[in-house]
Structure 1
Amino acid sequence: MDSTAAVSFPERLVGRSEWARRTQRQGGRPGSYSGYVNVTPTDWLFYWYFRADNTGSRTPKPLLVWSNGGPGCSAMEGATTEISPLRLFDIKRGWASATGQLSDNAFAWSAHASLLFVDQPRYVGYSFGSGPHVTSSAQAGQDMVAFLIGWLRLFPEHAQADVILASESYGGHYVPAWSDAILAHNDGAAAEERIRLRGLLIGNGKINQRFASNDNFEAFLSQAHLLPPGRAASQRAPWENEYSWRVRSQLLGEAAQYLGYTPNGYDYRVRALACPACVQYNYTAWSSWFLTDEVRRALHVCGDAGRGAFAGSAAGCIRMPGFSDDSVGDGHSEALGRSLDRGVKVALLYGKQDSVCDFVQGLATADHLPWSGAATFRSATMAPLRLLGAEIGQWKASGGLSWYQIDGAGHMVPLDAPAAALGVLERLAA
């Protein structure tokens, strides 16, 4: 059975969050809800929903659906460190600076959309069940359609809302698959049952491994000044240029030797951290927070759900047995192209200090998406992206496709450059 209940944190956890205090008062309109939606008779996906801030707005705001990447990582990271009205301040720096209390996010995406965080695919984060794991992004897309149909029954006020699908990293596989599944559903659904898909937003996405070539990665490291000056570019035959973890490791080793430290793959400006629950950042305090009884009660978590994702050294992620990485081939690029040709807007947002999903391969992917506006987009001129008169990155756009590359930001642009990320959403939602 699908479920929903208002989220209310105890005062000890509310900390510095005036948003939480304001929306949790008795008699007031709750600001967030959480619960579960069946995607099969035996599988439930967990969600955490935040209402949009409609202050001064005369038009309904879209519904933005967010999941993190991995594959297998919980959307609670996006909900508490990136885009929601609540933030666990500095939680990924480790125990020393982690208070475990919530603070407000001045750049929350709820300024322009209602936010729906979904732990997917099955068994990710707080999601649970007894059915089989999904084994591909395409299957995850089918579950997302089932989830949205069920969730919209719980929140019928959003039944006619425009929907934006958003993710980052491996979400470059998920978002195209979700879009494909929704468009296929809409083709066979009555008008009142269609999901009003409006836009896609992918941050530092892993979309098409063909463009994560060895030459492109070396070009990224050179542009970022992570290799010694004057170093001659490697000469490779075409058959030696396909993505190779061995070659990437060699190049990263050169970079570490030149820099004098092992750079964090998600933000090369800082050191990679090493600990049992470290994934470049220290997730120990963050993942432990989601296991506390107070948090689990506040979020209405069912039973022991989440133990596999947040306990020990899991860092909010689970293993995905039998899951196909489906990185080889153009399938996700083709899905984005189909979305564009059907009038769905696409925004690609890349922090330039990320070496895991770097912006050089990202731009090559964007330039080669197969859609009717490809040639015009490819020839579009890159322009400065400005905030309060200062250049914060570069961008270009044509038709429904927009590209943004952000200076001073790594893998998680909403965390590193929140004003820039919020501006991208504002343009997409306009």
Structure 2
Amino acid sequence: MKLAFSLLLLSSLEAFANCEKHMNDPLGEFMKAQRKGWHADYSDATVESEADFSRVYLGSHDGLKEADKIEVLPGQPGGVYFDQYSGYVTVDPKAGRELFYYFAESQNSSSKPLLLWLNGGPGCSSFGYGAMMELGPFRVNSDGKSLSLNRYAWNNVANIIFLESPAGVGFSYSNTSADYDLNGDKHTAEDSYTFLVNWFKRFPEYKAREFFIAGESYAGHYVPQLAQKILQFNKITNQTFIINLKGIAIGNAWIDAETGNKGMYDTFWTHALISDEVNKGINSNCNFSSNNSLSDECDSYLDQAHKSLGNINIYDIYAPLCSLYSNTSTKVALDPCSESYITSYLNTPQVQKSLHANVTGIPGPWEVCNYTVLIDWKDRSSTVLPAIQELMTNGISVYIYSGDTDGRVPTTSTRYSINKLADSPMIPWYAWYTQGEVGGYAVGYKNLTFVTIRGAGHFVPSYQPARALAFFSAFLDGKLPSPHQN
């Protein structure tokens, strides 16, 4: 009996180790580092000037659009009736800093708006996660070699750019190693703006198109900070270069440290993931509103909370883990081993060649998340709520959405954040529908909409693709999701 128990315990520990190999948690590592206090804070109060715009690098793009066109991706299925492009945009020629993008046009591209998609981390790939696992036109199959069509891809309703930013993420790189030491909120916003200005020169037919920015997780920083920069530059460039920004959408977004932390631990308790005692200890000892380091007593209770969670997928608390998935008959929308398939596919030389990826520029094999970027992150705001408020005040539509089974940036955190942004709703809380079912819940404020997606984890378009496409289509139309059954 003792031998049998020992073998069972050994098997369980081995399974735990295998699961760990497939559980990227960059935002969790980032949040843990924040317990020790904040680095230099990114200033949301910075106002761009004409002199700042004059320093934005503008390169020549003759012939580069044609060179970036993808003929066909290895393993691509039939029935593809849209154009694809990928390649590099130089944001600093002196340093040799190059940002990689993938662009999936809509089938009727001239009649559709333009969207820039950003994943967070910080340090995670918008191409690997966003394009290949979430809202892009393809999903990587379990063989790591072939693709299947995503019938709920967002390029059904928009032309979509997936940007890997900052340098060091995915296929993006710099020839100056010191650049990697500069990564942070401010640097990322600056490079992303430079990327856009140059991308519009490469694709001038999109210059006047309605433009939207969306992203998730730590892109809750990237998206509003980039949108704020666009808004401010639009005001000072005397109409010489205007980006037609209409709105932003951020999902399960890390936007405010106080509400993010409070909401996360409240969710752990209300979903029976931690004990009453640990919850009481957190509430009594943790001051998440402070920019100073948390107390040792608080740290101790937070460690207890995370240990008591056990080995679960914090980004979808009810989902199976990768190493256990193949041993169950559970059917889920997102294969928990997807990251492994994507990593295998994007490290295939034939795939890299078709994408025009310069793999000699990146320091090692392609990775879905670069933890070195995360560890070396230089500046970050404790909150980006002032940037979001500035966008709202200037008539930019802000759409915040939240998968309701995420444990890392849960719906509770987002609701606490929204309570800091808005007061009385103009459209009261209601259930919205798609495909004859409740897709989630929504509430509308002036220039701010909050939408939940029922049954979705952190990667909303992966877990609930049909519901994600429904709310995204409403966002592009400047409407709230439908309250009517169809």
TM-score (norm 2): 0.74
CA distance in 1, matches of 2:147, 2:418: 37
> Could you tell me how far 1:99 is from its partner in structure 2?
4.3
Residue 201 (str. 1) matches residue 249 (str. 2): yes
* Among 104, 108, 125, the residue aligned to 1:74: 125
The aligned residue for residue 57 of structure 2 is: none
Check 1:286–1:226 CA distance in 2 against 1; reply closer, same or farther (3 A cut). same
Counterpart of 1:289 in structure 2 is: 345
Q: Distance in 1 between matches of 2:363 and 2:346?
A: 9
Superposed, which structure 2 residues align to 1:227-238 within 5 Å?
Answer: 227=274, 234=280
Higher RCO structure (Cα 8 Å, ≥6 apart): 2
Tell me, yes or no, if the aligned pair for 2:101 and 2:164 is still in contact at 8 Å: yes
Q: Which amino acid aligns with 2:116?
A: V
Aligned runs of 1:96-135 on 2, under 5 Å? 97-131=142-176, 132-133=179-180, 134-135=182-183
Q: Is 1:18 aligned to 2:76, yes or no? A: no
Normalized per residue, the structure richer in strand is 1
How far has the Cα of 1:122 moved from its partner?
Answer: 1.6
> Aligned to 1:319, what secondary structure does the other structure show?
helix
| Corresponding position of 1:65 | 116
1:190 maps to 2:238: yes
Distance 1:355 1:245 in 2: 19
SS of the residue aligned with 2:372? coil
Give, in angstroms, the shift of residue 227 of structure 1: 4.8
| One-letter amino acid matched to 2:69 | A
User: Quick check: 119-128 or 133-142, which moved more?
Assistant: 133-142
Instruction: Please say if residues 220 and 254 of structure 2, whose CA atoms lie closer than 8 Å, have aligned partners that are also in contact.
Output: yes
Shift of 1:290: 1.0
Whether the 8 Å CA contact 1:309–1:318 is kept in 2: the answer is no
Contact 1:351–1:405 under 8 Å retained in 2: yes
Q: Which residue matches 1:36?
A: 88
Structure ID, larger Rg: 2
CA shift for structure 1 position 53: 2.8
Aligned equivalent of 1:250, options 287, 295, 304? 304
Unaligned runs of 5+ in 1: 24-30, 90-96, 257-261
- The verdict on how the C-alpha distance between 1:103 and 1:184 changes in structure 2, with shifts beyond 3 A counting, is same
1:349 to partner: Cα distance? 1.2
Residue 60 of structure 1 deviates from its aligned partner by: 3.1
- Structure 2, unaligned stretches of length 5 or more? 1-59, 289-293, 325-335, 478-486
Per-residue CA distance 1:357-409 (angstroms, 9 max, x = gap) = 1111111112212xxxx2223x8632112113321221111221111112211
Question: Which residue of 71, 75, 86 corresponds with 1:8?
Answer: 71
- Which residue is 1:385 aligned to? 432
CA contact (8 A) 2:144 2:342 kept: no
What's the Cα RMSD here? 2.6
The match for 2:419 is 367
Say whether residues 1:49 and 2:103 are aligned partners.
yes
In 2, Cα distance between equivalents of 1:145 and 1:191: 17
Q: Tell me which residue corresponds to 1:358.
A: 410
* Higher mean C-alpha deviation, range 382-391 or range 411-420: 382-391
Letter in 1 for 2:170: G
Contact 2:282/2:301, CA 8 A, preserved across alignment: no
Say yes or no: does 1:424 pair with 2:468. Answer: no
Conserved in 1, the CA contact under 8 Å of 2:352 and 2:359?
no
How many residue pairs end up in the alignment?
388
Q: Which residue, out of 374, 396, 417, partners 2:443?
A: 396
Q: Between the two proteins, what is the percent identity of the paired residues?
A: 26
Contact 1:213 1:241 in 2 (8 A): no
In the alignment, structure 1 residue 83 sits paired with structure 2 residue 135: yes
Contact 1:351-1:413 within 8 A present in 2 as well: yes
- Once the two structures are superposed, residues 338-372 of structure 1 have per-residue CA deviations (whole angstroms, 9 ceiling, x without a partner) of 01111111111111111111111111112212xxx
Q: Distance in 2 between matches of 1:207 and 1:217?
A: 13
In the other structure, the counterpart of 2:186 is 138
Residue 94 of structure 1 aligns with which residue? none
